[in-house]
Amino acid sequence: MGVTSLHLDWNGLDQKSGAELAEAFRAIPLSVTSLDLRWNGLDDKTDAEWIELFSSLPFVHTVVLGDRRINKYELYANQLLEQVEHLVLTDAQRLVTPLIPGFEIDEISLSGIIGVLEKRNTSAGYLVSAMLLDDMIQNIMRGEEPQSQEKYDEKRAYDAVSFYIKAATSQGSDAIKDTANFNLWQLKTLGGGMPSLKRRLEQFDIRPPERFVGSYGLFDSHKGAVVSQSLRGHEEPVDDNDELEESLGLRLGGGQMNGVF
């Protein structure tokens, strides 16, 4: 299995920049997931410098500084939340095209970030999770054989829809809900080349919010049932909830429907 934790205390690392630390740590074995860097005067390092460090150590997810622990996934999640929340409030049209974060998000980091955001149970966190799975925040997708890749892409798309629904129905700002609804509309309109996904979304009457496309009216609401599925596959049924559909901005096209997603 190899070494998973290294203690590098008392090495005068405070004299090095984030880039210099990253270069110095490139020789660390890939099995290492945790670095103990206490007593190195690193408490004043900025988030940007820690991100630079973690970017050079793809398998390290935790740095220990005495009683303080810096978790890579929490750091990445906070950066993405800050970026998306800022754009939602100031330049929502920018969210129509994929965002490029200032760091690389691989498959392991993707799962770690979504795990952090899901535990926080906020509409903004659900929106970021959906955008990651929908590739509206750029990340590195796993390469597989065509048959397996199709199933993988389909699951990502379904999970993205589930998180968009949570973003639109959880307590949060109207701007967050509008963004989630618009991205749902894009998925329905474009379908991502997945007939099964398009068929599922065709059962909803989805129109883009006016703040994105001014010529469209606001959503209508209609009684029905929606079942959303989280990334880990747990189902959360919601029965005949007018308030849910009004906040979600979706109208069921054929009356009630169970187990849509």
Residues 117, 38 share a domain: no
Query: Is 56 contained in some domain?
Result: yes
Confidence (pTM):
0.75
Residues 203, 84 share a domain: yes
Coil vs helix vs strand at 45: coil
Residues 81, 23 share a domain: no
How many domains does the chain contain in total? 2
Residues 185, 105 share a domain: yes
Query: Is 259 contained in some domain?
Result: no
CA atoms of 134 and 115, how far apart (whole Å): 16
Residues 87, 172 share a domain: yes
What is the number of alpha carbons within 13 Å of residue 177 lying toward its C-beta? 17
Range(s) of the domain holding residue 26: 5-66
- Indicate the residue among 44, 66, 88 that finishes a domain: 66
| Size of the chain, expressed as the number of residues it contains | 261
Question: 7-45 in b/e burial notation, b at 16+ Cβ within 10 A?
Answer: ebeeeebeebebeebbeebeebeeebebbbbbebebeeb
Residue 33 has pLDDT above 90, yes or no: yes
**CB of 42 within 8 A of CB of 15?**
no
pLDDT value of position 129: 98
Residue 16 has pLDDT above 70, yes or no: yes
Query: Is 30 contained in some domain?
Result: yes
**Nearest residue to 248 via CA among 188, 175, 164:** 164
pLDDT 10s digits, 73-102: 999 999 999 999 999 988 877 877 889 998
